[in-house]
Amino acid sequence: MKDDQLTPGRRIVLRAAAALGIAATAGCGATDRPAAPGPTVPSGAPAGGPPAVRARKPSTYRLQPMAGYGPPRSARALPRVRKAPILRLDGHDHSMVLTFDDGPDPRYTPPILRTLRRYGVRAMFFVCGEMAAENPDLLREMADDGHLIGNHTWSHPLLPKLKRSTMREQIERTCDVIEDVTGEPPEWFRAPYGAWNRNAFQLGAELGMEPLAWTVDTLDWTEPGARSIVRRVRAGAGPGVVVLSHDAGGDRSGTVDALRTYLPDLLESGYGITVPSRYTV
Ligand SMILES: [Zn+2]
């Protein structure tokens, strides 16, 4: 891990931050902004955009031409600093988002990837840096299948308990391992336990990421069995719903089995499975 070095993408993000007058170093200026706790609301702007048909971004591993989705990285604007995470996607009348946290784990991530591949759908994986560093091939497989890889910190700490410099290290190291392995920096960030604070929102935005929480918690981390997980997904299904599951952190065989049931169910019910675009939320 070259965690003490800046990757090219990180340099660009930091340059963009500097150009926009945003503090790009820990504890520098940005912390004194007012941050009255805002209402917990989903994204204000309509998410828009076609579901699941977004062109893949170029990746060094996909060997595709540089005509992918979105503006050139050097022209990307940083997201605004939110006061609440995005909970669901607006403007997705018939689409849902599946997310898997804490991995990758060689026991559970591969069968999840196989099921997603079987039905030709894209999902989001919020990976922990330490897991990603141990399983780079799985990270590469996610990227090659077109899934979005989000940042879930290095070792899954409770962020509000961390000082800003430690929080930055947790998030930035994870950005770096994702970019080193996949060739693309993450554009999405999810705080462990859904525990956000002002520093977490600020650092995520400075590093080019939007904060995504979830609409439906499958509670799969309690290992309730596949049937219970399926029941929760069915009960919570709806337009723009973001489903939280886990592909690591315990026995996730129930999560793996449940996906094999609820994914075809959702598709038969007319839902598309999509992933969001950072630029339209
Ligand atoms: Zn987690």
Each residue's pLDDT, cut to its tens digit, for the chain (281 residues) gives 333 334 444 444 444 444 443 333 322 222 232 333 333 333 333 333 333 333 334 444 333 434 445 555 545 689 999 999 999 998 888 999 999 999 999 999 999 999 999 999 999 999 999 999 999 999 999 999 999 999 999 999 999 999 999 999 999 999 999 999 999 999 999 999 999 999 999 999 999 999 999 999 999 999 999 999 999 999 999 999 999 999 999 999 999 999 999 999 999 999 999 999 988 88
DSSP structural state of residue 107:
T
Strands 242-246 and 216-217: parallel
In sequence order, the 6+-apart residues with CB closer than 8 A to the CB of 97 are 89, 123, 124, 240, 241, 242, 243, 273, 274, 275, 276
Centre of ligand 1 from the C-alpha of residue 75, in Å: 31
pLDDT digits (tens, 9 = 90+) for 242-261: 999 999 999 999 999 999 99
pLDDT of amino acid 39: 35
The catalytic residues are: 101, 246
The Å distance, Cα 172 to ligand 1 centre, comes to 17
Q: Which superfamily does 85-281 belong to?
A: Glycoside hydrolase/deacetylase (3.20.20.370)
**How many other CB atoms are found less than 10 A from the CB of residue 162?**
18
Q: How far apart are the first and last CA of the chain?
A: 32
**Dist. CA 32 → ligand 1 center (Å):** 29
Taking CA atoms, 233 is separated from 64, 174, 266, in Å, by 35, 29, 9
Please tell me the distance from the alpha carbon of residue 240 to that of residue 250, in angstroms, as a whole number: 28
User: What digits encode the pLDDT tens for the residues 165-183?
Assistant: 999 999 999 999 999 999 9
Residue 8: how many CB atoms within 10 A of its CB?
A: 11
Sequence ranges of the domains in the chain: 85-281
Q: Give residue 192 CA to ligand 1 midpoint distance, Å.
A: 5
User: In angstroms, what is the span from residue 153 Cα to ligand 1's centroid?
Assistant: 9
- Compute, in angstroms, the gap from residue 63 CA to the centroid of ligand 1: 31
Q: How far is the CA of 148 from the centre of ligand 1 (A)?
A: 16
* pLDDT score for 166: 98
